[in-house]
Amino acid sequence: MLIIDGHCDSILAEFHAQRSLRDRSAEGHIDIPRLREAGIGGQFFALFTEDQFVERAYEHTNELLSRVNTLLEQDSRVVGATQASDIEQAAQQDQTAVVLAIEGAEPIERDIRRVETFYHSGVRLMTLTWNRRNAVARGIGTEGTDGLSGFGAEVVAAMEELGMIVDVSHLSDTSLNDVLKRVTCPVVASHSNARAIHDHPRNLWDEQLQAIAATGGLIGLTFPGVFIDGDPKKVTLDRALEHLEHMIEVAGADHVGIGSDFDGFTAPYGLVMPDCTGLPQVAEALRRRGYPAETVEKIMGRNWLRVLRAMHTGTD
């Protein structure tokens, strides 16, 4: 079974010299040995601009990009991927494919040409905002009534033309609705859960889940405890599966995947699983609940492949 995880922040561990992703660690959630143990065939690595780097976001993102490229050059267990067939080929060669993503469009600043620059650097997904507001849109953590900006509309159009996936996780409700009115390609919420199960601003209402599905996109089940339940003691795999099953019911099994957010959260909020080696437990739990093998395979990775394949323009 091909497992694809649509979001992690693990490259920050390399950047801050907290640990090497090449070596197995007892810290954090992801490293190459644990990805291999879990059988994860595709991992999206987010290039995230932390608050202290916003003023030099373009340079900082390129530094993170360089870290990923160095990792790929030095370790044959992982290989870069820019399209679905790259992930499938990596699986055949017993490698884990790494897909580059940008979390928050701060590095674009107000230069539309940078969308293409990052695309040609291998970036295949961009989360338009983090919780803050940027030149593209207002994030969920910022007060106001504004949504997608005029420049943001240009960015979305440029992404779709190139074949870069538009990711709407972290957007304010207004921004999300603005994006959904404009897109012509599949969009994703790479790491968001169901607001009907736990009313947290980062989770999505049923109509938003349905609207994302209508584009042909997907929603990635995510594991930060604060998005699973308000009580850390109730943050369990079973509780996470309540979100997953609700999203399957509302959006359809073709439009749900995994977006762990590993290395983007800490234990005090509760843990669904200790690290990425627990991901196969999701598949096992779905099988026990009676889901057919084909449906489980879609949720664990095939839906991500489908979205990547839909976005591929053949210009790589």
For residue range 252-269, what is the model confidence (pLDDT) as tens digits? 999 999 999 999 998 888
Q: In a 3-state reduction of DSSP, which class is residue 242?
A: helix
Cβ–Cβ under 8 Å, residues 157 and 140:
no
d(CA 39, CA 280): 8
What's the CA angle centered on 62, arms 156 and 10, to 5 degrees? 90
Q: In a 3-state reduction of DSSP, which class is residue 43?
A: strand
Once rounded to an integer, what is the mean pLDDT over residues 247-252? 98
Greatest alpha-carbon pair distance for the chain in Å reads 50
Once rounded to an integer, what is the mean pLDDT over residues 292-304? 98
Between 13-17, 54-58, 288-292, 297-301, the lowest mean confidence (pLDDT) is in 13-17
Q: Over the chain, what is the mean pLDDT?
A: 96
In the predicted model, is pLDDT for residue 315 greater than 80?
A: no
In the predicted model, is pLDDT for residue 4 greater than 90?
A: yes
Q: All domains of the chain, ordered by start, with CATH?
A: 3-311 (3.20.20.140)
In the predicted model, is pLDDT for residue 56 greater than 50?
A: yes
* Nearest CA among 141, 214, 210, 215 for reference residue 173: 141
For residue range 97-153, what is the model confidence (pLDDT) as tens digits? 999 999 999 999 999 999 999 999 999 999 999 999 999 999 999 999 999 999 999
Which residues lie across from 167 on neighbouring strands?
Answer: 127, 188
